[in-house]
Amino acid sequence: MQIHYLEIVTSDVDEVCETYSKLHAVTFGESDMNLGGARVAEFSNGGKVGVRSPLRETEKPIVRHYILVNDIQATVDAASKSGAEIAVPPMELLGYGQCAIVIHNGIETGFWQL
């Protein structure tokens, strides 16, 4: 299992980016609209962390991991069969691949296919 993307949703993007920059010696780019306006930093192992504001009024702050998968649809189907709710079905992220989000026992998990 490889975490490809760590998504942080917060009402104070700049403060979180500044803190992570100091703690982890990473540099965040400008907002990327293809990732919901997230400011993204890349790690030496190829992983990324994105910090963004909520996309809707009902979205709460959260830290969500996205696991790298080979077949996102098969993975979402398997998660659904094991009882997970599909919160976001597989969708294309221009220039990044596909992502999906499932919720199982209250835990949100993202999947990412390059």
CATH number of the domain residue 20 falls in: 3.30.720.120
Query: Residue 11's pLDDT is what?
Result: 97
Query: Residue 3's pLDDT is what?
Result: 95
What's the pTM value of the predicted model, to 2 decimals? 0.93
- Give the tokens for residue 57: 């009024």
In this structure, are 56 and 105 located in the same domain?
no
Query: For strand 85-93 and strand 31-32, is the pairing parallel, antiparallel, or unpaired?
Result: unpaired
In this structure, are 81 and 46 located in the same domain?
no
In this structure, are 75 and 34 located in the same domain?
no
* Per-residue model confidence as pLDDT tens digits over 45-104: 889 999 999 999 999 999 999 999 999 999 999 999 999 999 999 999 999 999 999 999
Number of domains in the chain: 2
Give Cα separations from 97 to 10, 35, 82, 107 (angstroms): 24, 11, 25, 23
Query: Residue 5's pLDDT is what?
Result: 97
- Boundaries of domain holding 110: 69-114
In this structure, are 55 and 82 located in the same domain?
no
3-state secondary structure of 98: strand
In this structure, are 105 and 59 located in the same domain?
no
